[in-house]
Amino acid sequence: MNIESYREYCISKPGVTEGFPFDEATLVFKVMGKMFALADVDDFVSMNLKCDPETAVELREQYEHTVLPGYHMNKKHWNTVMVDGAFNDQELKKWIDHSYDQVVKTLPKKLKEELNNL
């Protein structure tokens, strides 16, 4: 997966916006204002994705060199996934979907209803 396909996939999801809230290189994707994915556009070697805590630990154990605790993130809820060819696009998309879903399920009822109406 390259930065363009990563961006296209993330932005295609309902309720998603993109921006650079931290600096000019860190592209952040939010669903209904809540962050679910981010990556460095200048050096796309990894992406940070939200993850269920149990699944996060399992993935880190299974892929110890390519799935790491979230860099500059809450290590319990975020993984840094290396984009070095170890995973095919379908696997990466599955993890992006999981990240998106993790955020959506915690949205307040009003925002969930708004998202469902998009």
Report yes or no on 118 lying in a domain.
no
Report the pLDDT value the prediction gives residue 21, as an integer from 0 to 100.
Answer: 97
Q: For the chain, what is the mean pLDDT? A: 96
pLDDT digits (tens, 9 = 90+) for 60-114: 999 999 999 998 999 999 999 999 888 999 999 999 999 999 999 999 999 999 9
Number of domains in the chain: 1
Centre a 10 Å sphere on the Cβ of residue 111 and count the other Cβ atoms it contains: 16
Report yes or no on 115 lying in a domain.
no
Residue entry with tokens 């979907």? 97
Report yes or no on 52 lying in a domain.
yes
HSE-up (13 A, CA, CB side) for residue 92 = 24
Report yes or no on 15 lying in a domain.
yes
Residue entry with tokens 């149990």? 54
Q: pLDDT class for 118, splitting at 50, 70, 90? A: confident
Report yes or no on 116 lying in a domain.
no
Q: What is the DSSP letter of 74?
A: -
Report yes or no on 11 lying in a domain.
yes
**Which CATH number belongs to the domain containing residue 14 in this structure?**
3.90.1150.30
Report yes or no on 22 lying in a domain.
yes
Q: Which domain holds residue 36?
A: 3-91+101-108
Q: Write the single-letter amino acid at 23.
A: D
- The pTM score is 0.95
Looking at the predicted structure, is the pLDDT value of residue 38 above 90?
yes
Report yes or no on 8 lying in a domain.
yes
